[in-house]
Structure 1
Amino acid sequence: MPRPQKCRKVCCLPQNSGFTPINGKELTAIVLTVDEYEAIRLIDKEGFSQEECGSYMRVARTTVQQIYATARKKMADALVDGLPLKIEGGNYRLCDGQEAYCGCGGCRKHRHRCGMQGQEENL
């Protein structure tokens, strides 16, 4: 029996839940999970190493490597084949903003970016 999956910590949900090609073909969308999106965001946009990403998402570096590889494959398929891409589902939990450092620039910045002003704490 395989081990149960750990929930992956995610800073906040993506602002866009999908993308469609300009040609707008009516084809089945490729589904990128929220945790795959978060791995792409942390590694490619924020510049985290896979080890830092794993520490932030609270999973092993090897797990991040697998999530990241799957996400890149899905994105490549969507781009090359002109398929719609939807971001939904996955095994994740949202950051509650209570940590001293949430991995995306600090909880103060996290709360500001995610629209939770007024809940600032003294850091």
Structure 2
Amino acid sequence: MARPKIERRICGRAAHHCFKPNGIPYSQLDKIDILPEELEALRLADLERLSQQEAAEQMGISRQTFGNTVKRARYKVAKSLVEGCALVFPDEESNS
């Protein structure tokens, strides 16, 4: 049985529903969901330039969990950019 997921503190939100390549209809693209906590990890690490420890404290999670989260987020963003996929920001409610 998996451990219960610790609630993450998330301050940032995506400005749009998705980010996609120009000129290709959304319906024709592969989609990659990026979770709210993954987007928050990217914001704290790359936009705010916080250390992993500082960012983990802000999110209320361990440094190791933060590192794993930001690693997953960076992989998804890189895959989206390189392979031309739509990066989708699902509503928090749909993840419950």
TM class, shorter-length:
0.7 to 0.9
Shift of 1:65: 0.5
Tell me which of 47, 53, 59 is aligned to 1:45.
Answer: 47
Q: Which runs of 4+ in 1 moved over 3 A?
A: none
Are 1:78 and 2:80 matched, yes or no?
yes
Aligned to 2:33: 31
Q: What's the TM-score, normalizing by structure 2?
A: 0.86
Give 1:103's aligned residue.
Answer: none
By how many angstroms is 1:83 displaced? 0.7
2:67 corresponds to: 65
Bigger shift: 10-19 or 63-72? 10-19
Task: Pick the structure with greater CA Rg.
Answer: 1
Q: Give the count of matched residue pairs.
A: 91
Deviations 1:27-57 (A, max 9, x none): 2211101110000001000011111110000
User: Over the residues paired in the alignment, what is the CA RMSD in angstroms?
Assistant: 1.7
Q: 1:89 to 1:4 in 2, by over 3 A?
A: farther
Equivalent residue, structure 1, for 2:14: 14
Deviation string 1:76-108 (CA, Å, 9 cap, x unpaired) is: 1100001111112569xxxxxxxxxxxxxxxxx
Counterpart residue type for residue 81 of structure 1? E
Q: What is the CA distance between 1:23 and its match in structure 2?
A: 3.8
Equivalent pairs: percent with the same residue?
33
TM-score in terms of structure 1 length:
0.68
Q: Does the 8 Å contact 1:35/1:90 carry over to 2?
A: no
**Relative contact order, CA 8 A, sep 6+: which one is greater?**
2
> Structure 2: which 5+ runs fail to align?
none
How far, CA to CA, are the matches of 2:38 and 2:54 in structure 1? 15
